């Protein structure tokens, strides 16, 4: 057995040359046999595949971007030479530092690892000279690439953003943690299991390949069941059309607020992010606070929905659900919540109703992580250029929809170290199965995108930024102008959101007179939003004063520990009416039990 201290452990492991030779011979021979066995299993899938999935890193666009970069760099030979010289000095300094390390002297890193970087948390990266050298050389090389990137100020913004994105992925990919012979955790696991981790990891890889998976498995999708472990809040489907099912949740309190709430989740994901495990469930928490909740569960589109548009999703989707809730509960006005692209629909619906003189039918609106200014959409913009859109449109025209895996891959690439490389190491190098996790289960339970709706949304929102422009888009016969909205509004954003960056959300708070509350949560698009108060995690910022810009608002904002949900609850009580007797949902109104049928479609 190897000594448990990290430094001794690895030194001992490398010392067993014969054992290592036997381990690697066994791994190579076993994996060769696995390849031969799996080829036959792969062939049927390959024959059935009509075409390759959409490629995020389109070769032609990547080459064009790199050609522009090379042309720009060729104008600055002296600057590049100076960067190379400084980099060489850094490498020499590293060699000197490693020599001191080998002599037992205490040394400091040339480049500190960022606090949030989980890749190098094993102390051996600091304690063992060889791993210290690999880590620091990697960080030096990464710094050089970033400095070279900074020399290309004259590139157009779109090319510059694409190049930065590609460079970031190159830096992430070349990390020593991604290779079995330079990752200390993998080395130890390989030695202690006699290579079984790499054999099992290769089996995991082949299994994913045979199944045609676009994305690395992030969680055990069989471990959590809808309606059993997640999406368990009791309720009934009370309305259904070709785009949605509408769920009403059963009351858990003797009295409830008289004004109901309708939630519009994003159509790009399934609704139950609002109803994860009971301890994470916004639905359960809000119902326990006496709110009567309805939520839309969108259909998982197929070819039948290929021609659906933003107008269809607003009027046939959100508005039909809205009209049903008003009539069903006998309320002239109700409260609304819109999350992510569901918030885009809610903004469109409010503008539409305002134009029709019916804006008072929405008593209040809560916008959660809903982008308004798509110029601030961050790395998502790298996927949207004319050439890329034309290829995407050509692809989805054949099927009528975008595959769920392509959409999921796009989002995962925005946080590659967390959502790709960490699972690559766990599944393929360590040979482990990912653990069950409700948020990752939801993230992996991807849905298709209706063809026309998706291409129009990318073009009109991300490429042309029309939502923020008065009259930039139309819903039915109504030009959308967000400045006409007068509905009282609570706006929430998340500081580390990579899907809807908070600076893309903030402008709505300056455009809408009724936007009285803006709250910024820490963490990201899911964890920052669905943060139960009892967990006592994260924090949020609030500011009693309005500001013209996001940075001005943040500069004078107050930081508060904990979840933003209680702040929203306090605001919502002003629009929720008096407390009335709660009644169970009548069976005669039921079309089935929650979570419904649309949500289970794969």
Lowest mean pLDDT among 12-21, 83-92, 311-320: 12-21
| Peptide bond connecting 595 to the previous residue in cis, omega within 30 degrees of 0 | yes
Summarised one tens digit per residue, pLDDT across range 275-304 is 999 999 999 999 999 999 999 999 999 999
Q: Using the predicted structure, report yes or no on whether residue 92 has a pLDDT greater than 90.
A: yes
What pLDDT does 53 receive?
54
Summarised one tens digit per residue, pLDDT across range 185-231 is 999 999 999 999 999 999 999 888 776 666 789 999 999 999 999 99
Residue among 198, 256, 295, 340 flagged as catalytic: 340
Mean pLDDT to the nearest integer, 306-318: 97
| Percent of the chain predicted with pLDDT > 90 | 80
For the chain, the C-alpha Rg in angstroms (whole number) is 27
How far apart (Å, rounded) are the C-alpha atoms in residues 558 and 250?
37
Other beta carbons within 10 angstroms of residue 545's beta carbon come to 8
CA torsion angle 305 462 548 366 (round to 10): 20
Q: Are 455 and 396 in contact (CB under 8 A)?
A: yes
What pLDDT does 2 receive?
36
> What pTM was estimated for this model as a whole?
0.92
Closest CA to 310 of 340, 341, 334: 341
Summarised one tens digit per residue, pLDDT across range 504-517 is 999 999 999 999 99
Q: Are 236 and 437 in contact (CB under 8 A)?
A: no
What pLDDT does 38 receive?
73
Give the confidence band of 17 by pLDDT, cuts at 50, 70, 90: confident
What pLDDT does 3 receive?
42
Positions of E strands within 344-438: 362-368, 401-402
Lowest mean pLDDT among 6-15, 78-87, 183-192, 265-274: 6-15
Examine the residue annotation and report whether 385 is marked as an active-site residue of this protein: no
Q: Tell me which residue has tokens 């510059």.
A: 160
The vertex-333 CA angle with 332 and 339, nearest 5°, equals: 150
- Residue 369 is given by DSSP the state S
Q: Please provide residue 81's backbone torsions phi and psi, each rounded to the nearest 5 degrees.
A: -65, -40
What pLDDT does 213 receive?
64
Domains and CATH numbers, the chain: 236-378+464-600 (3.40.50.1820)
The vertex-63 CA angle with 213 and 399, nearest 5°, equals: 40
Give the CA distances from residue 52 to residues 126, 168, 371, in Å, rounded to whole numbers and listed in that order.
43, 25, 31
Would you give the end-to-end CA distance of the chain in angstroms?
47
- Spatial CB neighbours of 125, under 8 Å, sequence gap ≥ 6: 113, 131, 132, 135, 184
């Amino acid at each position: 057995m190897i000594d448990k201290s990290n430094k001794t452990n690895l030194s001992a492991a490398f010392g067993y040359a014969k054992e290592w030779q036997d381990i690697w011979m066994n791994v190579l021979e076993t994996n060769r046999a696995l390849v031969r066995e799996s080829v036959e299993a792969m062939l049927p899938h390959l024959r059935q595949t009509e075409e390759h999935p959409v490629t995020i890193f389109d070769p032609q666009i990547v080459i064009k971007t790199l050609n522009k970069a090379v042309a720009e760099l060729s104008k600055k030979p002296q600057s590049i030479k100076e960067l190379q010289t400084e980099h060489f000095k850094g490498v020499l300094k590293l060699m000197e530092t490693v020599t001191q390390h080998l002599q037992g002297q205490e040394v400091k890193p040339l480049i500190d690892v960022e606090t949030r970087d989980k890749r190098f948390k094993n102390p051996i990266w600091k304690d063992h000279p060889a791993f210290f050298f690999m880590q620091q050389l990697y960080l030096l090389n990464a710094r050089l690439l970033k400095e070279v990137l900074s020399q290309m100020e004259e590139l157009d913004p779109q090319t510059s953003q694409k190049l930065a994105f590609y460079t970031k992925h190159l830096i992430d990919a070349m990390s020593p943690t991604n290779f079995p012979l330079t990752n200390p955790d993998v080395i130890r696991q390989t030695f202690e299991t006699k290579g079984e981790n790499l054999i099992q990891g290769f089996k995991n890889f082949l299994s994913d390949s045979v199944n045609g998976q676009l994305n690395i498995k992030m969680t055990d999708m069989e471990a959590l069941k809808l309606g059993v472990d997640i999406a368990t809040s009791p309720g009934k489907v009370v309305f259904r059309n070709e785009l949605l099912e509408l769920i009403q949740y059963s009351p858990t309190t003797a009295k409830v607020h008289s004004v109901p709430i309708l939630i519009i989740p994003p159509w790009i994901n399934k609704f139950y992010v609002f109803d994860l495990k009971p301890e994470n469930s916004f639905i359960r928490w809000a119902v326990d606070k006496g709110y009567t909740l309805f939520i839309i569960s969108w259909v998982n589109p197929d070819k039948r929905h290929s021609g659906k548009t933003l107008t269809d999703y607003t009027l046939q989707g959100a508005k039909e659900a809205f009209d049903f809730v008003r009539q069903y509960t006998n309320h002239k006005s109700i409260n609304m919540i819109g999350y992510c692209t569901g918030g885009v629909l809610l903004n469109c619906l409010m503008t539409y109703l305002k134009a029709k003189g019916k804006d008072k039918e929405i008593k209040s609106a809560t916008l959660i992580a809903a982008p308004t200014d798509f110029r601030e959409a961050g790395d998502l913009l790298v996927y949207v250029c004319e050439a890329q859109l034309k290829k995407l449109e050509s692809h989805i025209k054949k099927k009528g929809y975008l595959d769920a895996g392509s959409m999921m891959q796009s989002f995962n690439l925005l946080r590659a170290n967390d959502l790709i490389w960490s699972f690559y190491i766990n599944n393929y190098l360590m040979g482990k199965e990912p653990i069950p996790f409700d948020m990752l289960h939801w993230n992996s339970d991807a849905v298709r995108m209706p063809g026309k709706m998706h291409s129009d949304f990318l073009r009109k929102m991300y490429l042309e930024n029309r939502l923020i422009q008065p009259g930039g888009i139309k819903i039915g016969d109504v030009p959308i102008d967000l400045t006409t909205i007068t509905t009282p509004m609570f706006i929430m954003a998340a500081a580390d959101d990579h899907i809807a960056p908070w600076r893309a959300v903030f402008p709505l708070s300056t455009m809408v007179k009724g936007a009285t509350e803006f709250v910024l949560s820490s963490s990201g698009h899911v964890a920052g939003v669905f943060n139960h108060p009892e967990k006592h995690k994260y924090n949020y910022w609030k500011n009693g004063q309005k500001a013209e810009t996001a940075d001005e608002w943040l500069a004078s904002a107050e930081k508060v520990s904990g979840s933003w949900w209680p702040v929203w609850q306090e605001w919502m009580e002003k629009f929720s009416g008096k407390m009335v007797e709660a009644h169970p949902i009548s069976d005669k109104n039921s079309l089935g039990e929650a979570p419904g049928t649309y949500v289970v479609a794969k």
